Amino acid sequence: GAVVSQHPSWVICKSGTSVKIECRSLDFQATTMFWYRQFPKQSLMLMATSNEGSKATYEQGVEKDKFLINHASLTLSTLTVTSAHPEDSSFYICSAKDRGGGSPLHFGNGTRLTVT
């Protein structure tokens, strides 16, 4: 089946530094990738939609200058949390959609970010 690799699985960083999270589709071409944030015991909150070769579309309330998304190829999207603060600590999940109108999302394993 379709595999999405997300790296790192966890990261601890100091306040004010930047962190990059990678999301790769290993055996299919992902024309669209989605970045979610999940708070404990809550649902997935869509942050942005990333299309290969174009600018990401951010959801309302998500700071695009803080959460930089790059989708440079059909198999790689990155999320960079810039100038991280403790309130950015969360679980971030990427997912990818392959070709086909009604295809399901394939999810990465998630990244737990802790900002100290």
Partner 1 sequence: AQTVTQSQPEMSVQEAETVTLSCTYDTSESNYYLFWYKQPPSRQMILVIRQEAYKQQNATENRFSVNFQKAAKSFSLKISDSQLGDTAMYFCAYLLTTSGTYKYIFGTGTRLKVLA
Q: By three-state DSSP, how is residue 89 classified?
A: coil
Tell me how many residues contact partner 1 (CB under 8 A): 22
Which of 11, 13, 46, 74 binds partner 1 (CB under 8 A)? It is 46
Task: Spell 49-59 as b/e; 16+ CB within 10 A means b.
Answer: bbebeeebebe
The smaller minimum CB distance to partner 1, of residues 13 and 107, is found at 107
Output the CA angle 31-49-36, nearest 5 degrees: 115
- Is residue 115 within 8 A of residue 85, CB to CB? The reply is yes
Q: Could you tell me the two tokens for 82? A: 């810039």
Q: By three-state DSSP, how is residue 111 classified?
A: strand
43 part of the interface to partner 1, by CB under 8 A: yes
Binding segment for partner 1 (CB under 8 A), chosen from 21-29, 44-52, 70-78, 81-89, is 44-52
User: Interface mask (CB under 8 A) for partner 1, residues 22-41, using x and -?
Assistant: ----------x-x---x--x
Q: Could you tell me the two tokens for 17? A: 């530094």
Which of 11, 13, 22, 91 binds partner 1 (CB under 8 A)? It is 91
Residues that bind partner 1 (CB under 8 A): 32, 34, 38, 41-44, 46, 49, 57, 91, 93, 95, 97, 101-102, 104-107, 109-110
